[in-house]
Amino acid sequence: MNRRGFLLLTAAAAPTLAGCGFEPVYGTQGAASGLLDRIAMDEPNDNNSYLLVRELEDRLGRTSGGETFGLSYSVATESKAVGKTVAQVTSRFDILGEVTYALRDLDTKEVLTTNTINSFVGYSASGSTVSEVAAEADAYERLMVVLADRIVAELQAYATTNAL
């Protein structure tokens, strides 16, 4: 399909989508707009939790004195060798990550929602020592991005079904 056909199809579908009840989660009256800039994250205590908090703050905003909610989290990671060469040298690693989080109301101290999420990323270990170290560091950073995205999606889903 060429670009002109795609634009015509998109224009034709617009009235249908407008009547479907779709509402942006962070829109003017969006259900999750009450989360933005109102969640105080626990202080990070290592590089992984720093990366996770950085990504969460990028998506949910940083608080500036108007905190309503607190977010506690626990990050666990494990590295596993998953690929070997004919000479039995490890050539690929997977990093498994798990985050248990809890969203709390800071006034009542009540835990509003909690869950454990997990994911994994991989990286190649075939190269120089410097490239392996860089690939591993990048893999941990990518893992924290994936985990942060999943936490934010779950918080948005929670916000759409509960008045915040």
pLDDT tens digits for 54-73? Answer: 999 999 998 888 789 999 99
Asked if pLDDT for residue 91 goes beyond 70, the answer is: yes
Between 95 and 21, the more confident residue is 95
Least-confidence region, from 8-12, 35-39, 157-161 = 8-12
Domains of the chain in sequence order: 3-161 (3.30.160.150)
Cβ atoms < 10 Å from Cβ of 37: 15
Highest-confidence segment of 6-15, 83-92, 128-137: 128-137
Q: How much is the pLDDT for 109?
A: 93
DSSP string covering 16-51, please?
A: HHHTTT---TTSTT-TTTTTTT-EEEPPP-SHHHHH
Between 128 and 27, the more confident residue is 128
pTM, to two decimals = 0.81
Fill in the DSSP letter of residue 7: H
